Amino acid sequence: MELYELTAHELRDKLANKEVTSKEITESFAKRIQEKEPDVKAFVNTTLDTAIQKAEEVDRKIASGEKLSSLAGIPIGIKDNICTKGVKTTCSSRMLENFVSPYDATVMEKINDEDLVMLGKLNMDEFAMGASTEYSYFKKTSNPWDLNKVPGGSSGGSAAAVAANMVPWALGSDTGGSVRQPASFCGVVGLKPTYGLVSRYGLVAFASSLDQIGPITKDVEDNAILLNMIAGHDEKDSTSANVEKKDYTKALVNDVKGLRIGLPKEYFGEGINPEVKEAVMKVAKKYEEMGATVEECSISVTDYALATYYILACAEASSNLGRFDGIRYGYRTENFNNLKDIYRNSRSEGFGPEVKRRIILGTYVLSSGYYDAYYKKALKVRTVVKQAFKELFKKYDVLLTPTSPTTAFDIGTRSNNPLEMYLADICTVSINIGGVPAISVPCGLDSQGMPIGFQLIGNHFDEETLYKAAYTYEQNTNFKENKPTFKK
C-alpha cells in the first residue's frame, strides 16, 4: 500500500509511531501529483518544493523532541479562493491570475500553526460561481472516476484531488453546495459547517451571508479532525459565531439507535435521477436497520429557497466583486485613456461570462425600482426558510436527502441555459439560506460507475449529530472498496 492511499488519521498514526517521516509522506503525494495531474488537472498551482522543505523542517522538529500538533507534517490541498501568504490566490480567474495575498486566511493560520504541509492551490469555478469547475479561467478539472466527466463544483479541484489520492484532504468553500456537490460527484466526504462556525477572514467573498469554508476528506473521521482544526471564533470576521469550541471526534460513535431522521419529500420528486433516488432510499432503509426512525416529512419552501438563493447570492456577489477595479490589485487593462476606462475595461476583460451574468443579475435586483420586489422580498423569504428548518428540527435530529439530483455529467455537456444549470442546485442551496450544516457522504455507484452521495442536514451548530450519523453509516457499509478508475 502506498502512503498516498492512506487517510490523514492513518498517516498521523504512522508518524506518531515513527514508521514514516513527513518527508516520505510528502514525497509520496508529490510523486502521485506528478503522475496524475496531467489527467485530473486539479491544481492551479502546486507548491511541492516548499512542501518538501516544510516536511523536512517538521521532521527536524520531531527528531529534536519538540512538542508538535499530532497532525504536524500531514499534507493538505487548499481551494484557490482561500488566501495563502506568499502563494498565488487566483480564484481561477484572469482577474487574480497574478495575485499574491499579503496575508493568510484565518483557516491557513490555524493550519500553519499545526504545521501541516500545503501541497498547492486547487482549481474551482471562477470566483466559486458554478457547479462543474468548467468555469475556471485556467483549466477544466476531470473526475477521477471517469476523466471525461466533471468533478462537480465549485470546489471541483479539491474533491477531485482527494478522490485521486493527490492530497489526503482539502479545504473547499460552500455558498450553495460547492463543497457537498463535488464531494458527491467524486465519492468523498464534504461538510458545509453552520454559518459562522468557521472564520471567513481571507476567503475571497462571493456571497458573504452564505459562504462557509468546509473540509473535503476521504472519510468521516478525517472530516471531524479537520473541522476541529478550522472551527472557532475569530474577531477578524464579525459574522463568526462565539460558540464553545467542541471536539468533533467525540461524535464519532457507531450508534444511531433512536436517531430521528426526516425524509423531506420535496427532495425526492421530479427531476431527481431514479438511480440517485433509489440509492438514497437504500440509505434510509439502512438507517432503519441500524435502529434509527425514518419518517417522510415536508419542507414546502424548497423551490422558493432556490429563487431566494439566486437573488441574494448574486446581489451580494455584485457588491463584493465591485472591489475589482484594476487599481489596487488584480488585472488591469492595457486599453485605457481615463480612469473610467480602467474600471470598465479591466472588469470586462478580467471576468468570465458566468461571473458577468451574476454581477448583472445582482445589480438588477439591487437597482432602484426592483430592490423591494426582489432583494428585500428575498430577505423576508430567507426568514421563512429558516423558520421552516427550525420547525423540522423540533421533530427530527437530521434530514436525509440526495446531495445532487444527478451524478457527474460529461465535460462540455452542461446546459447553455443558465436557469437549467441553477435548478440543479435544488438539493443544496436551501441549507445555505437556512444557515444550517450539512454533510455529503458517498453511498454507491450508478450504472455508469459514477459515485452517488447522500446529504444529511442538521440543526444549527449540531455538526456532532451529522458526524455521528455519517460515521455510523460509513462503519456499517463498504463504499470505500470502490476505487476511482481514471477511465479515459
User: Which residues in this chain contact other proteins in the complex, by CB under 8 A?
Assistant: 98-100, 102-103, 194-196, 209, 235, 238-239, 241, 301, 303-304, 307-308, 310-311, 318, 322, 325-332, 336-339, 341-345, 347-348, 351, 353, 356-357, 359-361, 363-365, 367, 373-374, 376-384, 386, 417-419, 422, 435, 460
**CA–CA dist 426, 163 (Å, integer):** 24
**CA–CA dist 158, 151 (Å, integer):** 9
The one catalytic residue among 41, 54, 79, 149: 79
The one catalytic residue among 22, 28, 136, 154: 154
CB 370 → other proteins: shortest distance, Å? 9
Helix (H, G, I), strand (E, B) or coil at 409: coil
Residue 154 designated active-site: yes
Q: Which C-beta is closer to other proteins: that of 260 or that of 377?
A: 377
Burial class for 368, CB neighbours closer than 10 Å (0-12, 13-18, 19+) = exposed
Helix (H, G, I), strand (E, B) or coil at 452: strand
CB 49 → other proteins: shortest distance, Å? 21
Measured in residues, the chain has a length of 488
Residue 69 designated active-site: no
According to DSSP, residue 374 is labeled: I
> Among residues 127, 58, 120, which one has the least CA distance to residue 90?
127
> Among residues 203, 179, 200, 175, which one has the least CA distance to residue 189?
179
Residue 92 grid coordinates: 481561477
CB 306 → other proteins: shortest distance, Å? 8
Q: How many CB atoms lie within 10 A of CB 168?
A: 29
**CA–CA dist 100, 85 (Å, integer):** 7
CB 382 → other proteins: shortest distance, Å? 4
CB 112 → other proteins: shortest distance, Å? 18
Burial class for 348, CB neighbours closer than 10 Å (0-12, 13-18, 19+) = exposed
CB 342 → other proteins: shortest distance, Å? 7
Q: Could you give the count of Cα atoms lying within 13 Å of 64 in the half-sphere of its Cβ?
A: 7
Q: What is the pairing mode between strands 451-458 and 189-192?
A: unpaired
Q: Which contacts (CB < 8 Å, 24+ apart) does range 302-307 have?
A: 302/264, 302/266, 302/267, 302/426, 302/430, 303/266, 303/426, 304/381, 304/384, 304/385, 305/381, 305/385, 305/429, 305/430, 305/433, 305/434, 306/422, 306/423, 306/425, 306/426, 306/429, 306/430, 307/378, 307/381
The one catalytic residue among 136, 178, 318, 404: 178
Q: Which C-beta is closer to other proteins: that of 50 or that of 319?
A: 319
According to DSSP, residue 196 is labeled: T
Q: Which C-beta is closer to other proteins: that of 335 or that of 448?
A: 335
Assess contact for 318 and 359: CB atoms under 8 A.
yes
CB 65 → other proteins: shortest distance, Å? 32
Q: Which C-beta is closer to other proteins: that of 59 or that of 266?
A: 266
CB 381 → other proteins: shortest distance, Å? 5
Q: Which C-beta is closer to other proteins: that of 34 or that of 239?
A: 239
Q: Which C-beta is closer to other proteins: that of 166 or that of 306?
A: 306
**CA–CA dist 41, 151 (Å, integer):** 11
CB 208 → other proteins: shortest distance, Å? 8
Q: Which C-beta is closer to other proteins: that of 323 or that of 480?
A: 323
φ, ψ dihedrals at 465, nearest 5°: -65, -35
Assess contact for 309 and 432: CB atoms under 8 A.
yes
Q: Which C-beta is closer to other proteins: that of 68 or that of 307?
A: 307
Q: Which contacts (CB < 8 Å, 24+ apart) does range 235-238 have?
A: 236/106, 236/199, 236/201, 237/106, 237/199, 237/200, 237/201
Residue 250 designated active-site: no
Q: Which C-beta is closer to other proteins: that of 236 or that of 285?
A: 236
Enumerate the active-site residues: 79, 154, 178
